[in-house]
């Protein structure tokens, strides 16, 4: 009822009340999707008149692995692959997902044909968004930290400026429990162990460990 009642604002209406109604509608959609009802999210993705509602629907579908998720991602990509800023959102929404396979998906997206490691915005859209995903990046396995360090080392060879900025994702290790601290520090040490590491990346990694 909340979802249906809050969906009456015109797509072009940017008033406070309209934006609030959309936020309420998207929150209700989140609860419904979490309960297993993805049909409303799929319908909103297809018929929403603004990008905010489309992305909210896509995010909910991405959190629920299955045919509906894959169909949504494919259709969104087909429609928006020629619009770089929107395509960045397509990468980000997957990297921020709560789905169990998010790490594997991020690894796969790193080799997607639309992934350009020379493009700072695209790198931030995928790897930066993943480091901002607390549940997945800080998984107790340490796989998230390892993935980030792998990207830092890869990017350092061709774009050390981007690589250096990504190091900051490991620089917050003091905020976490001892087990995660050890895992994050181990990846910083692995980065620093590369003899050909760029000056920028070396300085930030060394500072993070100091």
| Predicted confidence band of residue 92 (pLDDT cuts 50, 70, 90) | very high
Q: For position 83, what pLDDT does the model report?
A: 98
User: pLDDT value at position 65?
Assistant: 82
Identify the CATH number of the domain defined by range 82-210. Answer: 1.25.50.10
∠ at Cα 45 (39, 50), nearest 5°? 145
Looking at the chain, the whole-number percentage of residues with pLDDT higher than 70 is 82
pTM: 0.84
Average of pLDDT values for 123-152? 97
- For the chain, the structural domain boundaries read 1-80, 82-210
Q: pLDDT digits over 155-203, tens only?
A: 999 999 999 999 999 999 999 999 999 999 999 999 999 999 999 999 9
**Mean pLDDT in the chain?**
89
Mean pLDDT of the region 84-90: 98
pLDDT tens figures, 198-208: 999 999 999 99
Top-confidence residue, 38 or 51: 51
Residue 20's pLDDT band, with cuts at 50, 70 and 90, is low
Site of tokens 């429609």: 79
């Amino acid at each position: 009822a909340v979802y249906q009642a809050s969906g009456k604002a015109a797509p072009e209406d940017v008033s406070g009340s309209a934006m609030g109604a959309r936020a309420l509608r998207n929150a209700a959609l989140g609860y419904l999707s979490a309960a297993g009802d993805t049909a409303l999210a799929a319908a909103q993705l297809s018929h929403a008149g603004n990008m905010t509602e489309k992305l909210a629907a896509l995010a909910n579908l991405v959190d629920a692995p299955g045919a509906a998720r894959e169909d949504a991602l494919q259709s969104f990509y087909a429609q928006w692959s020629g619009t770089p800023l929107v395509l960045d959102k397509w990468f980000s929404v997957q990297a921020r997902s709560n789905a169990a396979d998010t790490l594997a998906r991020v690894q796969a997206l790193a080799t997607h044909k639309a992934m350009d490691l020379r493009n700072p915005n695209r790198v931030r859209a995928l790897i930066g968004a993943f480091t901002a995903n607390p549940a997945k990046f800080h998984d107790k396995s340490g796989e998230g930290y390892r993935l980030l360090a792998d990207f830092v080392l890869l990017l350092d060879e061709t774009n050390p400026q981007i690589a250096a900025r990504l190091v900051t994702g490991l620089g917050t290790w003091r905020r976490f429990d001892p087990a995660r601290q050890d895992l994050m520090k181990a990846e910083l040490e692995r980065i620093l162990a590369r003899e050909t590491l760029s000056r920028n990346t070396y300085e930030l990694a060394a500072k993070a460990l100091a």
